[in-house]
């Protein structure tokens, strides 16, 4: 099918499957591997679009399901799409609304036609079909649109997993047919198949025949065993085309990002950095700092030494602690800025180390810092996953 992107590999790690590339989209280039912050309803909670741009963010997410409810298609049509509506000059990726099948399942009824939702706002029924998802995403104007897929929890097993996989393939065909702007918007397929290796292989085989501009690994990060998670990710990156971007959906913890980059993934998204910020948790290269703790009441250093975000340059841990403990929205704002800066800096450091072909050594240094130099704290699954691509964390 037609593509409105180019994907050029710049460097490859000589040990792992990691790579650095430039993904050029209608609203500019994106350096990969990339973490994409999630602005579900057209807003990054507590952060202005200008601030996100200042942090160096090149692409963010919106959610089709939520924007379809509010402000709705008519409003977005009138304003000319979500970029204009939220004053965002860079790239957008829209989730199709499929994930809400899992997260809002009590509100959803799934049939071959599509997914019927009860609106969380007023209880009114809304049918999200592949055609409607494409219509909404074409109106939103996202640079990357996700197909509507039949999403099930990663903990589901049995015939429902295979049913969802084949339905996702059929729905992809309907999405391709309904997509009206392939010259300016890219449709990505989503690989399903649960934790079943044979179903994943079959799904990749079928999706690749459709030749979409990129591919996502879906249906993970739902509470499955991490040793199963990484094997599914690695299987998919082995089988998917090497000349197209690979996106692992819903991944945002620092150690997960590092492992998945080593396994060959290019794109990630997660609400985690901004969600955890609302609880006063700051992400740093030395682990998570809980700014609610009383020990920061008289700590006049920055959240993280060496961080050049506006929070760390201008405010102390003591001040942020006060804002967080008094539940002032300024606290949420300041920690959100820092956490997004951390995620983007983490990705930049990985890209730089891959370009210098020093990624394995960087991984070891990252784990040493992040887990306080204590190898016994390294999650066993990360040791196993990295060992599979030639990096021994315990040496």
Q: What is the pLDDT of residues 257-305, one digit of tens each?
A: 999 999 999 999 999 999 999 999 999 999 999 999 999 999 999 999 9
- Of 4, 59, 55, residue with least CA distance to 29: 59
Q: What is the pTM of this model?
A: 0.96
SS3 state at 348: helix
Provide the annotated active-site residues: 95, 269
- Tell me the pLDDT band of 125, cut-offs 50, 70 and 90: confident
Query: What DSSP character marks residue 179?
Result: -
- Of 274, 217, 255, 251, residue with least CA distance to 350: 255
Q: What is the pLDDT of residue 107?
A: 67
Average pLDDT for the chain: 94
The whole-number average pLDDT for the span 138-160 is: 93
Lowest mean pLDDT among 103-107, 265-269, 326-330, 362-366: 103-107
The proportion of the chain whose per-residue pLDDT surpasses 70, expressed as a percent, equals 96
Phi, psi (deg, nearest 5) at residue 38: -110, 115
**In the predicted model, is pLDDT for residue 117 greater than 80?**
no
Q: What is the pLDDT of residue 262?
A: 99
Q: What is the pLDDT of residue 124?
A: 77
Q: What is the pLDDT of residue 101?
A: 57
The encoded tokens of residue 174 equal 């309907």
**In the predicted model, is pLDDT for residue 166 greater than 90?**
yes
Greater confidence (339 vs 64) lies with 339
- Of 169, 168, 165, 213, residue with least CA distance to 188: 213
The whole-number average pLDDT for the span 326-348 is: 97
Q: What is the pLDDT of residue 258?
A: 98
C-alpha dihedral sign at 97, 1, 85, 50: positive
* pLDDT tens digits, 35-94: 999 986 777 888 999 999 999 999 999 988 889 888 999 999 999 999 999 999 999 999
Residues 6+ apart with CB under 8 A from 311: 302, 303, 320, 334, 335, 337, 338, 341
Tell me the H-state helices in the chain.
49-54, 64-69, 73-79, 82-85, 100-103, 130-140, 159-178, 197-209, 226-239, 254-262, 272-277, 310-314, 317-325, 329-355, 359-370, 380-387
SS3 state at 117: strand
> 281 with 272: CB under 8 angstroms?
no
Q: Give the Cα separation of 48 and 304 in Å (integer).
A: 22
Q: What is the pLDDT of residue 104?
A: 62
Q: What is the pLDDT of residue 154?
A: 87
Q: Which residues pair with 9 in a beta bridge?
A: 21
Q: What is the pLDDT of residue 175?
A: 98
- Tell me the pLDDT band of 115, cut-offs 50, 70 and 90: confident
Q: What is the pLDDT of residue 109?
A: 81
* pLDDT tens digits, 170-222: 999 999 999 999 999 999 999 999 999 999 999 999 999 999 999 999 989 88
Element (H, E) at 115: strand 115-118
The separation between CA 120 and the C-alpha centre of its own chain, rounded to angstroms, equals 24
Lowest mean pLDDT among 24-28, 270-274, 296-300, 375-379: 270-274
Q: What is the pLDDT of residue 70?
A: 87
Q: What is the pLDDT of residue 221?
A: 82
**In the predicted model, is pLDDT for residue 130 greater than 60?**
yes
């Amino acid at each position: 099918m037609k593509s409105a992107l180019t994907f050029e590999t710049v460097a490859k790690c000589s040990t792992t499957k990691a790579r650095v590339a430039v993904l050029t989209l209608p609203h500019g280039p994106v350096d990969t591997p990339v973490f994409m912050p999630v602005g579900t309803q057209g807003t990054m909670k507590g952060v202005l679009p200008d601030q996100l741009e200042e942090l160096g963010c090149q692409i963010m997410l919106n959610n089709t399901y939520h924007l379809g409810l509010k402000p709705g298609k008519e409003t977005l049509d009138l304003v000319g799409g979500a970029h204009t509506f939220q004053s965002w000059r860079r790239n957008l990726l829209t989730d199709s609304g499929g994930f809400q099948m899992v997260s809002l399942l009590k509100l959803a009824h799934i049939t071959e036609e599509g997914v019927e939702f009860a609106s969380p706002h007023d209880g009114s029924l809304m049918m999200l079909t592949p055609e409607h998802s494409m219509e909404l995403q074409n109106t939103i104007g996202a640079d990357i649109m996700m197909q509507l897929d039949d999403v099930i929890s990663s903990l589901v097993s049995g015939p429902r997993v295979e049913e969802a996989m084949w339905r996702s393939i059929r729905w992809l065909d309907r999405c391709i047919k309904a997509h009206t702007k392939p010259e300016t918007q890219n449709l990505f397929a989503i690989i399903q198949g649960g934790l079943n290796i044979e179903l994943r292989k079959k799904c990749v085989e079928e999706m690749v025949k459709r030749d979409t501009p990129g591919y996502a690994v879906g249906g993970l990060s739902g509470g499955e065993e991490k040793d199963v998670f990484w094997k599914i990710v690695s299987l998919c990156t082995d089988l998917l085309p090497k000349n197209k971007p690979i996106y692992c959906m819903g991944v945002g913890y620092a150690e997960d990002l590092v492992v998945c980059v080593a396994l060959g993934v290019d794109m990630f998204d997660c609400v985690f950095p901004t969600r955890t910020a609302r609880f006063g948790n700051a992400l740093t290269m030395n682990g998570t700092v809980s700014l609610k703790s009383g020990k920061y009441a008289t700590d006049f250093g920055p959240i993280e030494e060496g961080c050049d975000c506006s929070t760390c340059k201008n405010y102390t841990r003591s001040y942020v602690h006060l804002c967080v403990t008094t539940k002032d929205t300024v606290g949420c704002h300041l920690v959100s800025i820092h956490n997004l800066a951390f995620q983007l800096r983490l990705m930049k450091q990985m890209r730089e180390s891959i370009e210098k072909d020093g990624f394995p050594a960087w991984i070891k240094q990252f784990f040493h810092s992040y887990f306080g130099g204590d190898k016994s704290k390294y999650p066993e699954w990360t040791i196993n996953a990295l060992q599979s691509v030639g990096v021994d964390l315990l040496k």
